[in-house]
Structure 1
Amino acid sequence: MKKPFYQLEQPQEIIRQFTPNWFTMTMGTGVVALILPELAPNHSGLWLLAQSLWQLNTLLFIVFTLLYLLRWLIYPTEAKQIFSHPSMGLFLGAIPMGLATVLNGFLKFGFPIYGEVAIQIAHWLWYIDISLAVAIGIGVPFCMFSRQEHHLHQMTAVWLLPIVACEVAATSGGLLLHYLPANGQSLAILLGSYTLWGMSVLPAFAILTILMLRLALHQLPGKELAITGWLALGPIGTGALALLVLGNEAQPLLAQFGLIDFGTALKQLGLFSSLVLLGFGFWWFAIAVLITLSHLKNRLPFNLGWWALTFPLGVFTLAIFNLAQQMQLELIRNIGLGFASILIVLWSMVMLKTLVGIYNGGLFFSPCLKSFLEKTTPACNTLVQDKATND
């Protein structure tokens, strides 16, 4: 039986076993904080709750960043094994996406409190975010092509994680433009954000196509991976949200440069494309629910992958709210309220299970470290097997 994490004989094992999939916790918590004010925009209590949740999420991101940096500093040989592991390396994409929820919170919650300083912080964080997103969005797939071993029957929607980070950064760029003056730098951010969207959405849809082929040829994934199907909502929802946000900001910005018609076309494109993408998202939502329900007859083991229930559904819900706001349609907003209610229930469940897992110490486990020890130290195999048995 595992000891609670605070009673571990070697507390540094938390650092040694820390992996980037913990950042999915900040992704899910951050998106819930951003959605809460949408439920009742004029409700001060709900706003304060969302603001507190964003501050908690920011603290979590800082703690996770420090733990992961310490792992690279103290255990560099073991840490770099992530680039060879076929699944854990994909979770590197969760780092820039978690950071995006923090910088978006600075725009939404920080500006009313800190004023222009919050905008400056968000501005600098955005440049860090796009640097990470581009590096991971290119570097991780290259490692998949050159260093990792993958098979079609083992493929899951986790492949999307390093790819989607760029379109999440594109959405943040659109949100940032709302607070910046209409100058050359803002124009560069706008055009750069559309480029980031293309770097992400098109490869993501290629992955979704392969994923549909894998499901048709090899049936549903195992119960340990049942929740991964929800990740497909991520690129669909974020793709729609980015086009809505960027199109809304493009119209007034491009007018300052004599490109009124182009700006109007981008706004209309955002509205039309988001409707199409959201329709695709409704289909994937239904498929994800059916996959999950098909496994419920068996006990689904909890792991950090359950956070896939939150962020993808969250960005999909934000896209619905944004579309409702731009089209001024209460019907679409009511649909968004329904999805937001589902999200809050799922987030509460996953957060509770995560806290229990942290207390028990069972979530601190690095698969890439296990593989490394099995390959390099045969004597460690018995210890690894004992650890897996205790888990």
Structure 2
Amino acid sequence: MSSVLPAPSPARLLHGAVSHFTPNWFAVTMGTGALALVLAAQPWGGAARLALAETLWRADAVAFALCLALLLARLTLFPQALAELLRHPLQSLFFGALPMGAVPLINGLVLFAGPRTPAAYTLAEALWWLDAALSLLVAVGVPYWVFTSQEHRLERLTAALLLPIVAPEVAASSAAVIAPHLAPAAAQRLVDAGYVLWGVSVPLAFSVLTVVLVRLILHKLPGRELGVTSWLTLGPIGTGALGLITLGEAGVPAFAGTPLAGVMAAARDLGVLGALLLWGVGLWWLACALLFTAHYLRDGLLPFNLGWWGFTFPLGVYVLATLALARTTGSPLLAGLGQALALLLAGLWLLVAGRTLAELARLARR
């Protein structure tokens, strides 16, 4: 005679969610927010497309608020949790996902709420400064724990090391979204800070990419459970390219009539060239990510974990950079590639979101 186990109580579910919450859940908000921004940047669909993008952005805001509440609850109820997470060689890296996951929400305030409520621009600016400070804290603090309290070996390193380091450049690209909607003095501060954050992040990210390349040469591909990390290499490249374009475009009107007007005009023009160079580097890493994934799939399916969200955000920012370059250069080839990559992103997001919801339902029944 079979027996049916009783469903777990809501209190038990909540306790389990809090006690086991880890920062890698913010990767869900990163990927969802990136898709919302890619939808908003498309040239087709009109009001229906914007409505879909805004709906996705609102859902992402709910998911981010839930993740933030669970993280704060765990850190409050379990005081030792912060040190445990920072000592973990993988989970500590995902603290970078928190400020990065907030950036699409801040940008969405400008894109979706701002046209209806001008106060949204002021809120976006305030949240951006908070996010910029947090991204710097993560970019310095997490590597410090890596250097002093964790054990790493070259054969075990992956592109996940980029996660805390890339956070400042993601904030840098967001500064350019907000600056055109502010008074000149405030816009100048944001553009200045954006370039500083870009400088903090991008050169260091390329140092890590060099280490990742050496690791691949010496020790081949990482284990299947970390196979998706190959897509993370697109993150700093795509965001770096996007930041060069958008900061240059935002800097020209912000510094008009000032002694730096000529510098910003040069930064805008050189930014397009720099973005094209970075985009080319990204194209190589994208080809590698596709080949690596095909290599894993030839030997069987990749085991599902939250790392699958690494398919989404890095590709999303690379798509945004591609669309920005297509708009700036007028290249139909880049426009077509941007559309194709956007379709790939949407398909991957649907796949990963579906698997995540199925896994959550399975865990809830345990």
Distance 1:204 1:104 in 2: 23
Distance 1:305 1:71 in 2: 21
Name the structure 2 match of 1:293: 294
Name the structure 1 match of 2:162: 160
Question: Which of residues 343, 346, 349 is equivalent to 2:348?
Answer: 346
Gaps of 5+ in 2: none
Distance 1:3 1:235 in 2: 47
Distance 2:6 2:206 in 1: 43
Distance 2:163 2:313 in 1: 11
**252-261 or 287-296, larger mean C-alpha shift:** 252-261
Name the structure 1 match of 2:219: 218
Report the alpha carbon displacement of residue 232 of structure 1 after superposing the two structures with TM.
0.2
Distance 2:118 2:35 in 1: 24
Question: Is the contact made by 2:27 and 2:97 (CA closer than 8 Å) also made in structure 1?
Answer: yes
Name the structure 2 match of 1:283: 284
Question: Which of residues 46, 50, 55 is equivalent to 1:47?
Answer: 50
Q: Which amino acid counterpart does residue 22 of structure 1 have in structure 2? A: W
> After TM superposition, what 4+ stretches of structure 1 lie above 3 angstroms from structure 2?
2-11
Counterparts of residues 371-390 of structure 1 (less than 5 Å): none
Q: 1:86-140 CA distances to partner (integer Å, 9 max, x unpaired)?
A: 1100000000000111101101111123x21111111111011001100000000
Report the alpha carbon displacement of residue 9 of structure 1 after superposing the two structures with TM.
4.5
Which SS does the other structure have where 1:361 is aligned? Answer: helix
**258-267 or 227-236, larger mean C-alpha shift:** 258-267
Q: 1:56 to 1:319 in 2, by over 3 A?
A: same
Report the alpha carbon displacement of residue 7 of structure 1 after superposing the two structures with TM.
6.9
Q: Which amino acid counterpart does residue 358 of structure 1 have in structure 2? A: L
TM-score by length of 1: 0.89
Q: Which amino acid counterpart does residue 190 of structure 1 have in structure 2? A: V
Aligned identity (percent) is 39
Counterparts of residues 231-250 of structure 1 (less than 5 Å): 231-250=232-251
The answer to whether the aligner puts 1:100 opposite 2:97 as a matched pair is: no
Question: Is the contact made by 1:21 and 1:91 (CA closer than 8 Å) also made in structure 2?
Answer: yes
Distance 2:160 2:95 in 1: 11
Question: Which of residues 81, 84, 90 is equivalent to 1:81?
Answer: 84
CA RMSD of aligned residues (A): 1.8
Distance 1:268 1:200 in 2: 21
Q: 1:42 to 1:321 in 2, by over 3 A?
A: same
Question: Is the contact made by 1:5 and 1:11 (CA closer than 8 Å) also made in structure 2?
Answer: no
Name the structure 1 match of 2:327: 325
Report the alpha carbon displacement of residue 329 of structure 1 after superposing the two structures with TM.
2.6
Q: 1:172-219 CA distances to partner (integer Å, 9 max, x unpaired)?
A: 111111111212x32222111101001100110000000000000001
Question: Is the contact made by 2:180 and 2:254 (CA closer than 8 Å) also made in structure 1?
Answer: no
Name the structure 1 match of 2:72: 69
Report the alpha carbon displacement of residue 42 of structure 1 after superposing the two structures with TM.
5.2
**293-302 or 84-93, larger mean C-alpha shift:** 293-302
Gaps of 5+ in 1: 364-389
Question: Is the contact made by 2:245 and 2:275 (CA closer than 8 Å) also made in structure 1?
Answer: yes
Question: Is the contact made by 2:180 and 2:187 (CA closer than 8 Å) also made in structure 1?
Answer: no
Distance 2:62 2:19 in 1: 21
Name the structure 2 match of 1:206: 207
| Number of residue pairs aligned between Structure 1 and Structure 2 | 361
Q: Which amino acid counterpart does residue 183 of structure 2 have in structure 1? A: P
Distance 2:48 2:323 in 1: 20
Question: Which of residues 35, 38, 47 is equivalent to 2:38?
Answer: 35
Distance 2:177 2:202 in 1: 18
Name the structure 1 match of 2:59: 56
Name the structure 1 match of 2:146: 144
Question: Which of residues 89, 93, 115 is equivalent to 1:90?
Answer: 93
